[in-house]
Each structure stands twice: as structure tokens, then as C-alpha cells.
């Protein structure tokens, strides 16, 4: 049974208990599959990227028909760090709710709406308004060149710079290392595995370390980063407490010895060896 996230951020826990480990966050408008109905407050779910955890029913719309329809239709996503959904298309209007980057909504056509505003439909069916420049149709990686995709993934990751580190986080409110990399790819039309490892069935494959290019993924023991080129990488660092940039180059001011000396693998969406 499919369900839709109706909270700004729905927490996925390791156990059906609010005090248990936060293992992931699912953003507004994303759909999940309910695997087990635990009891009156919790369900065990699987995300579209095959991650499993316990979610509170209060954060979901438990309606199979609505969820299936929502999932099948191409939904625009929020690309602004935070976006207030307003009752009217004017800045002074009352807020319906706030959404974070990566949230999915519906767009409706309305006459007499100023060009800088878009009318959107929430999961509840309510109509609200957000700035048009804060919306983006769900992208397709196949519609752009490899070079553009690599550039876009890096720029998306950099848009989270200085975001606080949050274990299991996946939004500008707080994000962890795999949350950052998975969101950078998701916002550019590619679903990768949520954790700091490569998993069969997802599009990232191992390449030689010396073949790494901008937008590839760097894997360390229990950690993942996104390569920017020139030996630089962006990552959400538990040690650094936020999304930051570091270097693999020992001579660089941003060098981190603990990571540079423990790089285990490099993964890429484009496994063909580059021309030298």
C-alpha cells in the first residue's frame, strides 16, 4: 500500500519509538510503501529508494488510490532551501505551511496569477502559492549531457554548504553525508543508495580512483563525499559539524589527513574510462 508524506519532514526510525535512532527523513510529497501496520501509531515503510524504517501514521496520508495517483504523476519539486506556501499570491499573505528543498507538490493552472507566482496543490487538495523560481519540474538525467549533469550535481551539493550535520538528516535543516549525496543526485533526476556504500541495483558503479571526475562519489569507511574536481570534495562532516569542502591534496589548506588516507572506493554514474 502506497502512502504520501504530509509532514514537512517525516522521520524514519530504527524502531517504532520516537526515542529510537533516526535513520532517514522523507520529505513532503514523497511516497512510501507500507510494509507492515505495526499498531495505531506506527507503520513500517519502504521508500522509493528501498530504504526501510518506522514512520508515524500522523505524518502520512494513508490512502492507496490518492497515493498511487500522486506517485504516477510527474510532480514539481521545491528547489529553494525553504519555501512558504501562502494562501494568496502575495508576500503579505498567510502561510499554509513551509516546505524544504526536495519536497514534491502539484502545480495547477489558474488565470490572473502574477507571473512570479505559481499555484500549487498540496496533498490535502488545498491550493496555495509559491514563488515560481522556487519550483522545478522533476529532472531527467537522460535529457542533458554528462558534462552538464556533473556540473549540476556539484552545484546542487554546494547549495547545502554550512547546513548543520544531522544524523539521518536530508534537508537544509540538517543533513548527513549520504543524505547530502543522495539529495544532490535526486534533485538532478538520479536515485542512488542512501548509505555510504555502493549497492547492486543502483546506478553507481566502482571505477578506478585515478579516473574520478567532478560529480563522482568518494567512499571512506562509514562516510561518503561528492568529488568537485581538482582534488576537492564537498561533504557533510560529523567531525566538522556541517556541510563543508575539503581536499585530498596534502599541500592544500583544506586537506584532511583522516579522510585523504582512508579513501577506499570511487563510484560513478558514468563508468566509461575517461580519455587521457
Which residue among the candidates 13, 71, 177, 181 is catalytic per the annotation? 177
Active-site residue 71, yes or no? no
Active-site residue 235, yes or no? yes
Phi/psi class of residue 169: alpha, beta or left (left: φ > 0; alpha: ψ in -120 to 50)?
A: beta
Active-site residue 252, yes or no? no
- Report how far residue 116's alpha carbon sits from residue 239's, in angstroms, rounded to the nearest whole number: 41
Residue with cell 507503520: 43
Beta-bridge partners for 235: 244
What are 199's three cell numbers?
Answer: 549497492
Contact of 274 with 228, CB cutoff 8 Å:
no
List C-alpha distances in Å: 146 to 118, 151, 234, 272.
31, 9, 20, 11
Torsion of CA 188, 61, 34, 13, to 10 degrees: 80
Give catalytic residues, as residue numbers. Answer: 177, 223, 235
Amino acid at each position: 500500500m502506497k502512502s504520501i508524506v504530509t509532514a514537512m519532514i517525516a522521520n524514519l526510525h530504527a524502531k517504532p519509538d520516537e526515542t529510537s535512532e533516526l535513520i532517514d527523513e522523507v520529505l513532503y510529497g514523497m511516497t512510501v510503501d507500507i510494509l507492515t501496520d505495526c499498531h495505531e501509531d506506527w507503520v513500517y515503510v519502504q521508500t522509493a529508494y528501498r530504504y526501510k524504517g518506522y514512520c508515524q501514521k500522523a505524518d502520512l496520508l494513508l490512502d492507496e488510490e490518492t497515493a498511487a495517483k500522486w506517485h504516477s504523476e510527474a510532480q514539481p519539486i521545491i528547489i529553494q532551501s525553504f519555501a512558504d506556501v501562502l494562501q494568496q499570491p502575495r508576500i503579505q499573505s498567510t502561510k499554509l505551511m513551509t516546505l524544504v528543498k526536495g519536497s514534491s507538490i502539484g502545480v495547477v493552472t489558474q488565470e490572473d496569477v502574477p507571473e512570479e507566482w505559481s499555484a500549487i496543490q498540496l496533498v490535502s487538495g488545498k491550493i496555495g502559492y509559491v514563488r515560481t523560481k522556487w519550483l522545478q519540474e522533476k529532472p531527467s538525467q537522460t535529457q542533458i549531457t554528462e558534462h552538464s549533469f556533473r556540473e549540476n550535481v556539484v552545484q546542487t551539493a554546494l547549495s547545502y554548504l554550512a547546513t548543520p550535520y544531522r544524523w539521518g538528516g536530508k534537508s537544509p535543516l540538517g543533513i548527513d553525508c549520504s543524505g547530502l549525496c543522495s539529495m544532490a543526485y535526486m534533485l538532478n533526476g538520479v536515485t542512488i543508495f542512501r548509505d555510504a556504500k555502493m549497492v547492486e541495483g543502483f546506478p553507481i558503479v566502482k571505477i578506478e580512483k585515478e579516473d574520478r571526475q567532478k560529480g563522482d562519489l568518494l567512499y571512506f569507511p562509514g562516510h561518503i563525499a561528492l568529488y568537485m574536481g581538482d582534488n576537492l570534495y564537498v561533504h557533510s562532516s560529523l567531525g566538522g559539524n556541517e556541510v563543508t569542502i575539503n581536499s585530498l591534496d596534502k599541500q592544500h589548506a583544506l586537506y584532511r589527513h583522516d579522510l585523504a588516507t582512508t579513501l577506499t572506493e570511487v563510484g560513478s554514474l558514468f563508468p566509461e574510462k575517461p580519455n587521457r
